[in-house]
A and B are shown apart, each in its own frame.
Chain A
Amino acid sequence: MEKSAQQLHDERWQRVQTAMACGIPDRVPIPMMNADFHARYAGYTLGEVFYDADKLERAVEKTVLDFEPDCFEQQHTRIFVGRQLDLLDYGPMEWPGGRIGPDDAFQYLDQEIMKADEYDELLLDPSWYWLSKVIPRTARALAPLAAFPYPPLLTFSGVAVHTAAFGTPEMKQAMDRLHEAGKCALETVTRERAFIARMAGLGFPAQRGGALLCPFDFVVDFLRGGKNGMLDMMRREDKLQALIDRLMKTFVRRVVDLNARLPNKVVFVPLHWGIDGFMSPAQFKRIYWPQLRTMLQMLIDAGLHPLVFFEGNVTSRLEIIADIPPGKCTYQFETTDIARAKDVLGGIACVRGGVPASLLISGSPGEVQDHVKMLIRRIGKDGGYIVDGGAAGIPREARVENVRAMFDTVKAYGAY
């Protein structure tokens, strides 16, 4: 008898969950995670999926139904954001259909939002700093928020004085824009929720609930910029450390609580500044890993499963990141030596990845098949392994026949 969509859904999710707990499932799982491959596959420009939720959903649905992965990455909150970004005139980003061409890849721009001499100001009152400095500097349509009155002033007779800041035409315009952007955001999250439910009904589970950056990457990405963040490690590591500690106590705690309320207990944790070549092993051990480890432990303690995505290459750090409770984390890799990763992490963290971007883009289906067979034999041995492409999943430029070969090989040869 043919299996129902519900049975297939549960079977797939069980397969993924078993591997993520370092166990041996019925077959090596394979997710559909991709950086805009779905748009190209479905015949849309990136700009179209950035602005049109119908097209985005058709693209993701077609990709999922055609390749039948064991789980899939939802895309709305990453991709269906063009209108919000336009309305807010969001500065540190280029996106297709916005300031760049309709088929150009979106890119986060490395900018200094917080000045080097503002650490103390931020440390003194992070929320206030964020409201009156970070938001006006990043979302240019919200620049008038720089005049936002200090919230404790808005009490008793203070409301007669300090609410004056809201009376200006500039503030009204900013608030109107915020409302418009908020309506778009509401549509994005509502549609994503409905889409996940619809795909579950078709037999395909979403791969995660929420997402969370580690504090070091958060500071460097959104406040100091890459170059300044690296220089701060040399010039003012004590301040950087103090800010990271502060974020651990406030921001991280809050986001962990938010994630714990979501039904899907997998939390995506993308990492990028701690990789080989960017910081020394000593710096990694001092200012990156201890805080990241504490954060992962907080997620685990809240009943969540961190899906930690190590961008780039972290081969030299495998022994350090192996210090984590066994069976509670998945480590997804890009160019890290996947065989070494399995040797060091086997039985401790589920290993995910292994199919290089270059192979999917410029290799042949035969080469992909040979490589994936090797991965199943070598990395899949004893379970705890998920096959995936090596560029935040499948790269946008991957040849369709290569992606097909990757999925077919896993299904034909991946059974335990």
Chain B
Amino acid sequence: MSDAEGQRLVTLLADMQEAEALELARRMLDAGFDPVKLLGLCREAMAIVGARYEAQEYFLTELMLAGEMLTEIGAMAKPLIGQARDAGTAAAAPVKVVIGTVHGDLHDIGKNIVTFMLDINGYEVVDLGVNVPSKAFIDAVREHHPAVVGLSGFLTLAFDAMKDTIDAFRTAGVREDFRVMIGGGQVDERVMKFAGADGFGQNAVEAVSLCDGWTGRARHAG
């Protein structure tokens, strides 16, 4: 299998050519291409997608389609990974981020985009879903020891729920173990102070910047 084909896969994925990209990925795997390497190519393509999103060439629709393509290729490649050699790519332990939509709120589009952008920027994201009670956040930080916790919310009731969750971190004695970022809907600096968070972001790019700043990581590592 040639490097040219791999490069073509990266280009097709980055250019949102879904049908062609999936067909090529399938053909490469059928011909015995290393599935771990294939996922590496996907990651390379997603970094391009992320950069185009930051440059405002791509928007939500492109990120969503990229996520779909990644899921499809993952479903093809992952069952084959057990049969392949261990690529030994897991070098340094990745920085973890725990994320979720706070209790009372069921919205997840913004949270999913932040998760996607953090993931393609090399973070290991533990996504707790929507309507997440404070206790579930506390259980998750005790289990995963994240560097950052992301609280998402679209409705105005989320302001109180974010504050409750951060207060609960304090009561549980874990507040100082990580940074807390908030985002979504009408979240702004005033809400950040009200809730007692360390930072806020108005989009997924800002969320990645916050994490990079706090963890001292270079952009697009991973």
Complex alpha-carbon distance, A193 and B59, angstroms? 43
- A15 to B70 Cα, complex, angstroms: 55
For B174, list chain A residues within 8 Å (CB).
none
Whole-angstrom CA separation of A390 from B159 in the bound complex:
14
CB distance from B65 to the nearest CB of A (A): 5
Interchain CB contact under 8 A, A362 and B194: yes
* A231-B65, A234-B16, A280-B61 given; A391·B157 CB < 8 A: no
Contact of B124 with A by CB under 8 A: no
Would you call A227 and B109 a contact (CB within 8 A)? Answer: yes
* A233 CB → nearest B CB, Å: 5
Q: In the complex the two chains form, is A395's CB within 8 Å of B65's CB?
A: no
- Interface hub of A235, A312, A359 (most chain B Cβ within 10 A): A235
Per-residue CB proximity of A346-384 to B under 8 Å, as 1/0?
000000000011110111000000000000000000000
Q: Name the interface size band of chain B.
A: 20 to 34
Choose one: B64, B107, B159; the contact of A361 (CB below 8 Å).
B159
Q: Name which residue of chain B comes closest to A109, CB basis.
A: B106
Residue ID in chain A nearest B186 by CB atoms? A357
* Complex Cα spacing A235 to B19, Å: 10
| A110 CB contacts on chain B under 8 angstroms | 109
The yes or no answer to B34 lying at the interface (CB within 8 A) is: no
**B104→A362 contact, CB < 8 A:** no
A:242-291 near B, CB below 8 Å = 277-280, 283
Within 8 A of A (CB), among B152-210: 155-157, 159-160, 185-188, 190-191, 193-194, 203
Q: Is there an interface contact between B188 and A230, defined as CB atoms closer than 8 Å?
A: no
Asked whether any CB of chain A lies closer than 8 Å to the CB of B60, the reply is yes
Evaluate whether A396 and B156 lie within 8 angstroms (CB atoms) in the complex, with A357-B186, A362-B194 already known.
yes
Question: Given A230-B60, A234-B65, do A358 and B159 touch, yes or no (CB 8 Å)?
Answer: yes
A335 at the interface (CB under 8 A from B): yes
Q: Is B18 an interface residue (CB 8 A)?
A: yes
Query: In the bound complex, what is the Cα–Cα distance between A231 and B66 (angstroms)?
Result: 10
Q: Which of A35, A279, A391 interacts with B60 by CB under 8 Å?
A: A279
Q: How far is the CA of A361 from the CA of B193 in the complex (A)?
A: 12
Q: Which single residue of chain A is at the shortest CB-CB distance from B194?
A: A362
- Which residues of A (301-316) have their CB < 8 Å from a CB of B? 312
A57 beta carbon closer than 8 Å to chain B: no
Q: Which residues of B contact A105 (CB under 8 A)?
A: 104, 155, 157
A356 touches B190 (CB 8 A): yes
> Which residues A222-242 have CB closer than 8 A to chain B?
226-227, 230-231, 233-235
**Bound state CA distance, A43 and B111, in angstroms?**
33
Chain B 127-162, CB-CB to A under 8 Å as 1, else 0, gives: 000000000000000000000000000011101100
Interface status of B62 (Cβ within 8 A of chain A): yes
Interface residues on A, range: 20 to 34
- The residue on B at minimum CB distance from A232 is B61
Q: Is A73 an interface residue (CB 8 A)?
A: no
Residues of A within 8 A of B60 (CB): 230, 277-279
A395 touches B156 (CB 8 A): yes
Give Cα A356 to B160, complex, Å.
16
B59 & A279 in contact (Cβ 8 Å cutoff): yes
Is the CB of B68 closer than 8 A to any CB of chain A? yes
Chain B: minimal CB distance from A374 (Å): 15
Q: Is the CB of A358 within 8 A of B188?
A: yes
Give Cα distance in the complex from A200 to B150, angstroms.
47
| Residues in chain B near residue A312, CB distance under 8 A | 185
Contact B106 A94 (CB under 8 A): yes
Contacts of A233 in B (CB 8 A): 61
Q: Mark A110-122, 1 if CB is under 8 A from B, else 0.
A: 1000000000000
- List, in ascending order, chain A residues with CB within 8 A of B65's CB: 231, 234-235
A277→B183 CA distance, assembly (Å):
14
Q: Which residues of A contact B64 (CB under 8 A)?
A: 227, 230-231, 234
Least Cβ–Cβ distance between B36 and chain A, in angstroms: 28
Q: Which residues from chain A contact B185 at a C-beta distance below 8 Å? A: 312
Question: How near does chain B come to A228, taking the closest CB pair, in angstroms?
Answer: 9
Given that A105-B104, A231-B65, A277-B203 are contacting pairs, would A356 and B155 also be in contact in the complex, using a CB cutoff of 8 Å? Answer: no
Residue from A279, A280, A334, A391 with most neighbouring chain B CB atoms (10 Å): A280
Please determine whether B186 and A107 come into contact, CB atoms closer than 8 angstroms. no
A107: B residues at CB distance < 8 A: 105-107, 155
Q: Which residue from chain A places its CB closest to the CB of B157 in the assembled complex? A: A105
B83-120: which have CB < 8 Å to A?
A: 104-107, 109
Residues from chain B with Cβ under 8 Å of A363 in the complex? 190
The smallest beta-carbon distance between B153 and chain A, in angstroms, is 11
Cα distance A205–B191 in the bound complex, in angstroms = 34
**Alpha-carbon distance A231/B72, docked complex (angstroms):** 14
User: Which A residues touch B59, using CB under 8 A?
Assistant: 277-280, 283
Provide the residues of chain A in CB contact with B106, threshold 8 Å. Answer: 94, 107, 109
Question: Bound complex: CA of A152 vs CA of B22, how far in Å?
Answer: 44
Which B residues are within 8 Å of any A CB, using their own CB? 16, 18, 58-62, 64-65, 68, 104-107, 109, 155-157, 159-160, 185-188, 190-191, 193-194, 203
Query: What would 6 more interface pairs be, CB under 8 Å, given A233-B61, A396-B157?
Result: A104-B104, A283-B59, A335-B188, A356-B190, A357-B186, A358-B194
> 7 smallest A-B Cβ distances: which pairs?
A362-B194, A395-B156, A358-B190, A280-B59, A234-B65, A357-B186, A358-B191
What are 25 pairs between A and B in contact, CB < 8 Å?
A: A35-B156, A107-B107, A110-B109, A230-B60, A230-B61, A231-B65, A233-B61, A234-B61, A235-B65, A277-B203, A279-B59, A280-B59, A280-B61, A283-B59, A335-B186, A357-B156, A357-B159, A357-B186, A358-B191, A359-B190, A361-B159, A361-B194, A362-B194, A396-B157, A397-B160
